[in-house]
């Protein structure tokens, strides 16, 4: 599984997509100035375990450098992110309902997941990969709705 395609956003560095621009506008400017934001759109593809490569936050340091692989298990189900396929951890607790995952944002030392309704779920990356390989159950939930800007 080492020959996966690069994520679409890496094809045009410096050229934010419409979705990325929309999300950037919804976050505070002060926050955006100090954080490196990368957007990964999961799209609406079907099938189980759709693999998507995500750039790991280089500033995280330690033994957790390198790449992460994200897997959308099912539309409407939980999302797993793994450093290696055999080292999966659950991003979302079963009690948190995300019906349609749309974007993953790597924001500085945080990982954010947006659903179709604009809810954002944030987990610090240093807590995101658990060296003990245990399921992460404590996920900080921020129910800030992204303002939908009309064209």
- Residue 112: per-residue pLDDT: 56
Question: Contact 103/114 with Cβ under 8 angstroms?
Answer: yes
pLDDT tens per residue, range 23-80: 343 444 444 344 333 333 333 333 332 333 333 333 333 343 333 333 333 334 344 4
Residue 5 has pLDDT above 50, yes or no: no
Of 18-22, 85-89, 135-139, the least confident: 135-139
Distances (CA, A) of 70 to 24, 27, 134: 22, 23, 17
User: Which residue did the predictor score with more confidence, 135 or 100?
Assistant: 100
- Residue 105: per-residue pLDDT: 52
Q: What is the dihedral of CA 89, 73, 113, 16, to 10 degrees?
A: 120
| Region for 120 from its dihedrals, namely left if φ exceeds 0, alpha if ψ lies in -120 to 50, beta otherwise | beta
β-pairing verdict for 101-107 and 141-142: unpaired
């Amino acid at each position: 599984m080492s020959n996966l395609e690069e994520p679409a956003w890496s094809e045009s560095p410096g050229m934010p997509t419409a979705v990325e621009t929309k999300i950037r506008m919804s976050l505070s400017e002060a926050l955006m100035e100090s954080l490196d934001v990368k957007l990964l759109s999961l799209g609406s593809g079907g099938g189980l375990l759709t693999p998507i490569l995500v750039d790991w936050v280089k500033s995280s340091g330690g033994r957790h450098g390198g790449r992460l692989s994200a897997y959308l298990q099912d539309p409407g189900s939980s999302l797993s992110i793994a450093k290696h396929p055999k080292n999966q951890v659950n991003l979302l607790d079963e009690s948190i309902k995300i019906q349609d995952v749309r974007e993953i944002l790597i924001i500085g030392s945080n990982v954010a997941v947006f659903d179709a309704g604009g809810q954002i779920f944030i987990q610090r990356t240093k807590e995101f990969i658990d060296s003990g390989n245990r399921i992460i159950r404590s996920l900080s939930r921020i129910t800030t709705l992204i303002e939908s800007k009309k064209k």
